[in-house]
Amino acid sequence: MIHFDPQGLTLADLLTIARQDVPADFSPKALQRIDEGHRLLVKLAAEGTPIYGVNTGLGAAVDTPLAPVQASIPLGRAVGVGRLANRQELRAITAVRLAGLAQGRSGISLAAAQALLDLLNSGVEPEVPLLGSLGESDLAPLAHLSLALAVPLTGKDGLALVSANAASVGLGALLVAEAQRALEALLAALALSCEGYRANLSPFQPWASRLRPAPGQTEQSAALLRLLAAGELADGPRRLQDPLSFRCATVVQGAAQQALHQLHALIELELRSGADNPALISEEALVLATANFDSTHLALAAEGLGLALSRVAACSAERIAKLLSPASSDLPRFLITQPGHVGMAALQRTSSALVAEIGHLANPLPAVSVPVADRVEDYAGQALAVVDKTRRLVERVVWLASIELIVAAQAVDLRGTLRLGQGTGQIHAEVRSQVAHLDQDRSGSVDVLALGRFISTHGFSAASAATTAGRSPTRC
């Protein structure tokens, strides 16, 4: 059982709720805070205090002294289109909104808050389309979610249910976990490529990052060396210096890991914060207009992650090309020994197509959007759209990592008898548990998709352990 509390929710707890169907409840402190906020709302409204969305209109109609019908607020804003949120996404979105309500700043009634909690625990999956939010509260997706509640909405209930960026934060939390697994797969692929290429490990030695400690470089280099430890590679590199896609790999992947850490930190900030407008602060008997619904910081962090992953993807595709080239790898062309067979050549086309799509998805969304609400809402953070495009980017990165792993495992096989590192030996075995050695042509698509599913579901335990070793507890 996970408890929603004013202290906030951790990313780990949110992922447990979303992925494992673990039930949740409000802590006694959260129930007290929710009730205090609602009582303050009722008191101030009875005294005639102007409260946005309670005794005034919404958006451009804020100057209209007319109490909106709370049930109409979700109904009129259920205007989403596009793909529907899946079960994990629905649970993540709902849990994020419940974490926000547990702050006790929304003014929502206990009945409405409990109804949303009951929806989470029931396992019901409302149809929630994900296109329609501008990132200044995820009004459309939260409105669709709220339509599933069978409880009268009073006071500020309707506004409290939709006025938050719970979809951006919920999907952002899932993105953090998916990107972490993708980066671990890329680390595994790099390590196995080093084995197959017989790379020079000099650029990854501790002194290299001491001389210029770029963000993340030290950690990624150490993780790579842990995977290669106890192998023979350090004793016999083929070249004095390798191509940059090998030499610079831990610098590039370290930068991507730092971008991921930034997004992770901002997601956890949101999970322990109140983003309601207006906010009810019971200890001060204050109703406060805020702009805490703005999502610019989340959008920029997700954009940064996408840009960083596109750099890692470019290196991965180049390593694939080098392994397939006999002039670079000293291995059979396209890593096949049977005359007349294509071998792994066609997989390079797929990797090239993936890098092109990744590069496209890494392009930032425009900062300027069409103003809405009679130009009152004349700026938009666009976090949900950025998070969703970065999710698609990460999906393609996982497929690219799968291709590199398949190619690197084939290269290792063709090297003959090698003493692999403890970690790379385990990675090679896990790749081979999903994809057989290629001795004659077959559908490479089946192999890539099978390994991609393995990465998304299980990941590489050796790469995860190597990445986690020595990591700060606050990092993902």
pLDDT one digit per residue (tens) for the chain, 476 residues: 999 999 999 999 999 999 999 999 999 999 999 999 999 999 999 999 989 888 887 877 777 777 778 988 999 999 999 999 999 999 999 999 999 999 999 999 999 999 999 999 999 999 999 999 998 999 999 999 999 999 999 999 999 999 999 999 999 999 999 999 999 999 999 999 999 999 999 999 999 999 999 999 999 999 999 999 999 998 878 999 999 999 999 999 999 999 999 999 999 999 999 889 999 999 999 999 999 999 999 999 999 999 999 999 999 999 999 999 999 999 999 999 988 899 999 999 999 999 999 999 999 998 877 888 777 777 888 999 999 999 999 999 999 999 999 999 999 999 999 999 999 999 999 999 999 999 999 999 999 999 999 999 999 999 999 998 856 444 44
* Domain residue ranges of the chain, discontinuous segments joined by +: 2-163, 173-274+303-468
Given this model, what pLDDT does residue 64 score? 76
Other beta carbons within 10 Å of 22: 15
- CATH architecture, domain 173-274+303-468: Up-down Bundle (1.20)
Asked if domains 2-163 and 173-274+303-468 share a fold, the reply is no
Predicted TM-score of the model (pTM): 0.95
Q: What is the pLDDT at residue 470?
A: 57
Q: What is the pLDDT of residue 423?
A: 98
pLDDT for position 462: 92
| Highest CATH level, class, for 2-163 | mainly alpha
3 state SS for the chain: CEEECCCCCCHHHHHHHHHHCCCEEECHHHHHHHHHHHHHHHHHHHCCCCCCCCCCCCHHHHHCCCCCCCCHHHHHHCCCEEEECCHHHHHHHHHHHHHHHCCCCCCCCHHHHHHHHHHHHHCCCCCCEEECCCCECCHHHHHHHHCCCCCCCCCCHHHHHHCCCHHHHHHHHHHHHHHHHHHHHHHHHHHHHHHHHCCCCHHHCHHHHHHCCCCCHHHHHHHHHHHHCCCCHHHCCCCCCCCHHHHCHHHHHHHHHHHHHHHHHHHHHHHCCCCCCCEEEHHHCEEECCCCCECHHHHHHHHHHHHHHHHHHHHHHHHHHHHHCHHHHCCCHHHCCCCCCCCCHHHHHHHHHHHHHHHHHCCCCCCCCCCECCCCECCCCCHHHHHHHHHHHHHHHHHHHHHHHHHHHHHHHHCCCCCCCHHHHHHHHHHHHHCCCCCCCCCHHHHHHHHHHHHHHCCCHHHHHHHHCCCCCCCC
- Looking at residue 471, what is its pLDDT? 61
| pLDDT the model gives residue 283 | 93
Residue 171 is predicted with a pLDDT of 98
